[in-house]
Chains A and B, each alone.
Chain A
Amino acid sequence: MANGKVTRRRFLETSAASAAFVAAPFVRGAHAAGSLSVAFWDHWVPGANKATEEVARAWAEKEKVDLKMDFITSQGNKNLLTIAAEAQAKSGHDIFAFPTWYVHEHAGQLEAVDDIMPELIRQNGNVNGTVDYLAKVKGRWMAVPSTPGSQIKGPCSRIDLMKQHAGIDVVAMYPAGQPPKAENWNMDTFLKAAEACHKAGVPFGIGLGQTTDSVDTIGAFFQSFGAELVDKDGKITVKSDAVRQTMEYLRKLAAFLPPDAPAWDDASNNKWLVSGRGALVCNPPSAWAVAKRDAPDIARQCWTHGMPAGPKGRFAPYLPYLWGIWSFSRNKSAAKSLLVALSTHEAIAKMVEVSAGYDLPAWEKLTTLKTWAEAEPPRGTLYHYPNPHNHQTLSIAAAPAPPNIANQIYNQAVMTKMVARNLGGERLEATLAWAENEVEGFMRG
């Protein structure tokens, strides 16, 4: 008992040592800070993994961590399969790049990052609402927004075709380096432009298939009309006036889309733009980047800009990747330290640059990087891609339904199927009844 006596000095020493143990991420020395294994998303853009790799390597060297990086492709859903396998095995990487919904799906197996997010927000500005919706579970941050892979799927228009057939000057509407002058860019204008371009033989390339590009675009239209299949409280609202109004609008729009739109996949809109067959697609700048390589004349006529505004606002599809730390990770402090290193201004600027502007940080202060302003041809073509003037709400299809339900609506492509069914001749009420039945099925716990 004599040895166990707590003196003031001993109390202070113990407290200081404990505080240092908790605060210090790891001990320094040759790999003294242990090992860390990270699964990053394997980028579409050739060479775009380089920035992430360099930032992470520099961090590992400085912090004496034995770092192992895997770049896992989303082709064939390989990343989803790996996530499912690691969740089942409770073993694998320490950090994983989760696409959109999968932080919520695996929240029970993720380490909260409440301790680093406030500092990152202070440093980089607030995150957009979609990241808040997807990365926060029950008020706790469960993931950090990843710049690689995050994207807005806004319209990329042909300057010449839009001017010639629809009488719309997209460059004047979205001038480089200036706020948008898009007050008249609304659903009616969009529909008239779609009709005019369809008549001219260069229809808008919007898919009605079951893959993400189609779902994201149609989801943004739903949100612009305030149409929700399930509201934020989990109540089914399929048979609402807003949904009916959206369906009426989309039926008119679908008549001006390519006839094979219900069969489109994520490559179809890229091909549509690059082949010069259409006046507009909704996609991140990868379509423009491919055109720049394969069809430079077409790339010179491409301009990325905002979505048309609907009765309830202007919504643009935004899909973030999110870095989460598995709860079974054995080096959580090192994992958090790496995520902080990957979220600095310099690191993000580098990622945006090597991805030719494709990657989009979720942070408020980082939407005006020079990569987008300087991208060409034509100069300024990507200036409005990152929504620098916040003139549109970044959203994900099926939000604001509770994410576990929204995930099902999104992945089952309920909204595009509704449009395709209605377009195929099914009565609107029958389509709504079908959708309601589908959504009811997603409510099970």
Chain B
Amino acid sequence: MSEIAVRQPATFAAPARSRSRLRVFMRQRSTVAFLFTLPLLILVSVMVVYPAFYAMHLATLNKRMDRFIGLSNFTFLFTRETFWMVVKQSCIFAVSAVIFKALIGFVVAHLVHAIPEKGQRKWRGMLLVPWVIPPALSTLAWLWLFDPSYSAFNYVLGGLGIGPIPWTGDAMWARFSVILVNIWYGAPFFMIMYLAALKSVPAELYEVAAIDGATFWQRLWFITLPMMRNIIAITTLFSLIVTFANFDIVWILTAGGPIDRTHVFATWAFRLGIQGGDIPLGASVSLFMLPILAVAAVFILRDVNKRAERM
């Protein structure tokens, strides 16, 4: 009995200590943060990480998917004329669309910012409409406007004695059309991000600049742009990734035509992988976006980090 009496406090003390340790662990901010982000991490793992690794695995298989062939799919792609055309087109598509989206977003954000607060909400709402409509749906409307035989644009231009313009029938115009629709869809995102950035610039800076006699361009160059630089960089990176991976706009408008002149990585990967039944080659094409975007991400994020450290 005495032995039991001596042991008892020790057996009760252990769970109590571990409970308090658990309580401390659970109270730590990092633990709480981790638990809150856990659902997202699971979601990202299941929906992004697993498919990404699976795509890498697929890219190493032969067409029948019954043999490991290492990097042969990639070396094969390098020998294809169409592949290099797709690389070029993807770069032209993404870079030009992002540049124009950023420029238009920047200008419109300034215009909206200049509107008195009372009427601004209406404008913000209206200008966001292209961005909130699902692109597959809005692109269908654009398809009707660009229709090879019944284009509404050509009807109007015809009234002015211009055209008809082969919006999707000629390589140059088809590229222009897909880029235009992408700009129309994506510019509001830039506008709203830049507007948020503009609103966070302290008004005192502009007041001081005004007292010093700074012109509009000087205020823009020395105050607005430096204060918005991080937002511009992050927005550009984000948009570059999304635009590079675009599928719906190109697929609905031109399906990569005419003569493959508007294919981007995603549409060509679909054509090869799903329609052509060569899933490993399709996976290899889609994975090709990865190094391009990774290089862009490294440069942009490094710049953002440097600036954050300086500040």
Contacts and interface: CB of A to CB of B under 8 A. Distances in A.
A264 B256 contact: no
Contact of B150 (A261, A263, A271): A271
A374 to B, nearest CB: 33
Contact of A84 (B64, B169, B174, B279): B279
A101 B166 contact: no
A209 B274 contact: no
A411 B255 contact: no
A77 B275 contact: yes
Interface residues on A, range: 35 or more
Given A101-B277, A105-B277, A260-B169, A210 B256 contact: yes
A268 interface: yes
Given A77-B275, A260-B166, A437 B81 contact: yes
Contacts of B278: 408
A84 B269 CA distance: 14
Contacts of A408: 276-278
B264 to A, nearest CB: 15
A265 B255 contact: yes
Interface string A92-108: 00000000011001001
B254 A263 contact: yes
Interface stretch (A163-171, A311-319, A417-425): A417-425
A441 B273 CA distance: 14
Interface string A421-433: 1001000000000
Given A420-B258, A445-B64, A84 B166 contact: no
A324 interface: no
Interface string B113-154: 000000000000000000000000000000000001110000
A412 B260 CA distance: 9
Interface in B238-286: 254-260, 270-271, 273-279
Given A209-B257, A263-B258, A268 B148 contact: yes
B63 interface: yes
A419 B62 CA distance: 31
B274 A80 contact: yes
A262 B149 contact: no
B276 A407 contact: yes
Nearest to A80: B274
A441 B76 contact: yes
Interface residues on B, range: 20 to 34
A264 B259 CA distance: 12
Contacts of A80: 274-275
A275 interface: yes
B80 A421 contact: no
A128 interface: no
A105 B274 CA distance: 11
A267 to B, nearest CB: 9
A210 B63 contact: no
B149 A260 contact: yes
A38 B21 CA distance: 56
Contacts of A268: 148-149
B230 interface: no
B82 interface: yes
Nearest to A88: B279
A263 B168 contact: yes
A81 interface: yes
Given A102-B277, A210-B255, A441-B80, A417 B169 contact: no
Interface string B92-116: 0000000000000000000000000
A98 B143 CA distance: 29
A271 B64 contact: no
A211 interface: yes
Given A263-B257, A437-B81, A412 B149 contact: no
A263 B174 contact: yes
Given A259-B166, A262-B169, A438-B82, A411 B276 contact: yes
Given A80-B274, A411-B275, A412-B276, A262 B64 contact: no
Contact of A262 (B256, B257, B273): B257
8 contacts: A77-B274, A108-B66, A260-B168, A262-B258, A407-B276, A411-B271, A417-B259, A444-B63
The 6 closest A-B pairs by CB, nearest first: A263-B169, A260-B148, A260-B169, A105-B277, A262-B258, A263-B168
Interface of A: 77, 80-81, 84, 88, 101-102, 105, 108, 209-211, 258-265, 268, 271-272, 275, 277, 404, 407-408, 411-412, 417, 420-421, 424, 434, 437-438, 441, 444-445
Given A260-B149, A408-B276, A411-B277, 7 more contacts: A108-B66, A210-B260, A259-B169, A262-B258, A275-B149, A411-B275, A424-B259
Interface of B: 62-64, 66, 76, 79-82, 148-150, 166, 168-169, 174, 254-260, 270-271, 273-279
